[in-house]
Amino acid sequence: GSGGGGSSSSTTTGGGGRAVASLSSQCCALILTQPFTPSVVMERVDEVLFSDLGFGGVGKRLVQCCAAWRYVWGDGCGGGEKEKKRLGDGTGCCLVVDSGFSMTHVVPTVDAMAVRSGIRRLNIGGKLLTNYLKESISYRQWNMMDEFFIVNEAKEKLCFLSTQFEKEMRNAAKEKYRWFDREFVLPDFVDRFHGVVRLPQQLIMRNMMTQQAQTNNEHQKMKQQQQDTTPTQTNEHKKNTENTNADDDDDENNNNNNNDDDD
């Protein structure tokens, strides 16, 4: 990007054939890192950022500390240090569990700063879950041991995190078809190269029956309301009819009296 509001920039070509923006020295970079990254790798990153790309400054921060900052301080810290207000439980302490594809990092933080002596790494991640799901499907239904990417796609589209695990398991044991049941149609690699998620036919029929029952209940309520309002309308109509007849009789009497007076 350009600094100082200027819109023009010039480039110079180094001996290695790389184009370096002359205005890069006015820019800074923020690099999000993971715990236990080898120092050799970080030194190479610094070399690329400073020497090759020409950044004037580089800041490094753990991804987990950024998540802790969002939990502790919210969207920002206001206009100064005095305006900071802790969110969450108010202690400024936060334990971040960052689960990735191949590993999981557990990072304790205080005021969004990592306690490095307490950081732990577990070799458990999404890959392990995919392999477990692959084995389960191959044992129960279809041999998918060599289809890692298809099973991983099914996991990403269908699996979810239950916040009430015991309740969900009890309901799953009672009900034959659960609300979360889905069918995953495998790709045929002719018309489509990705799996398709669809509702089971039994759930479709049950949803249709539920909607039909709701519609019938609404119709019955409307009929009941109409029946409740009909007697009231009938009584009002009778009263209006009686009043009209009485007015007609009064008009006839007045006319007769006027005729008598003329005679």
Report pLDDT digits (tens) over 190-230. Answer: 888 898 888 888 777 877 888 888 888 888 888 887 777 76
Q: Residue 118 carries which DSSP code?
A: G
Beta strands in 85-186 (DSSP E): 93-99, 104-110, 113-114, 120-122, 183-185
For residue 121, the tally of other CB atoms under 10 A from its CB is 14
Q: What is the pTM of this model?
A: 0.57
Residue 258's pLDDT is 54
Residue 246's pLDDT is 56
Rounded Cα–Cα distance for residues 66 and 94 (Å): 11
Answer yes or no: are the C-beta atoms of 59 and 31 closer than 8 Å.
Answer: yes
Rounded Cα–Cα distance for residues 137 and 146 (Å): 12
Token couple for 251 = 């008009």
Please list the ranges in the chain whose pLDDT falls under 70. 1-25, 75-89, 230-263
Residue 139's pLDDT is 87
Residue for token pair 């109409």:
226
> What are 122's strand-pairing partners?
104
Nearest to 63 by CA among 40, 87, 97, 92: 97
For residue 61, the tally of other CB atoms under 10 A from its CB is 14
